[in-house]
Amino acid sequence: MIIAVDGPAASGKGTLARRLAAHYGLNYLDTGSLYRAVGVAVERSGASPSNTDAALAAARGLEIEDFDDDQLRADGAGEAASIIAADPQVREIMLDFQRRIASSPPGAVLDGRDIGTVVCPDAEVKLFVTADIEVRARRRHAELCAAGVKPSLETVLDDLRRRDERDAGRAVAPLKPAADAYLLDTTKLDIEAAFQAAVEYIDGKI
């Protein structure tokens, strides 16, 4: 079984996807980490994330160890990832890897932006996780503060707004719900309630 979990930044899709993978005994792939790893590699090379040659070289040179890097979770990595993710050739390189994981037994939960629309259009289950941008910003802000980074709420909100616009506005594989996705709005749900709602939907579907 393949479960596609898409949604904007800080919607809670990663936490939800990880829990669903554990619950259904499936592999888990955070596809954002692939784009983050390319973003971090480009920045380390001294190039700008909008330099398409540098992004392509970094994507081609990715190694499995690159996904296990604390820097991947930093906010700058998310921004760099969003920029390089607009490049169709970079996306093409990422596609193979994602589909290989998805098709390995016993199946997988993948979270990202284009899993239900492009990477796994035949996934048995597709969820699109959203929440109001103010709520997402407050959640991300609390996470960052807990990690010792103390940006203003305004900065976090601006960051998310910019990232949503870029991810949803790009020409290739933009962030959008698949036509057959189940929309899960977590604005008023904590993670436990969101998990229960997803399980109820999935159990009814399979």
User: Contact positions toward ligand DC, by CB under 6 A?
Assistant: 9, 31-32, 35-36, 78, 81-82, 85, 112-114, 163, 167
Residue 25 backbone class (left: φ over 0; alpha: ψ -120 to 50; beta: rest): left
Rounded least distance, CB 204 to ligand DC, Å: 26
Rounded least distance, CB 191 to ligand DC, Å: 16
Distance of CA 42 to the CA centre of its chain: 19
Pick the closer one to ligand DC by CB: 12 or 32: 32
Pick the closer one to ligand DC by CB: 139 or 163: 163
Pick the closer one to ligand DC by CB: 107 or 112: 112
Pick the closer one to ligand DC by CB: 24 or 35: 35
Rounded least distance, CB 203 to ligand DC, Å: 25
Rounded least distance, CB 116 to ligand DC, Å: 10
Cβ atoms within 10 Å, residue 165: 12
Residue 176: is it exposed, middle or buried by C-beta count within 10 angstroms (0-12/13-18/19+)? middle
Q: What is Dmax (Cα atoms) for the chain?
A: 50
Strand locations in the chain (E): 2-6, 27-30, 108-112, 125-130, 182-185
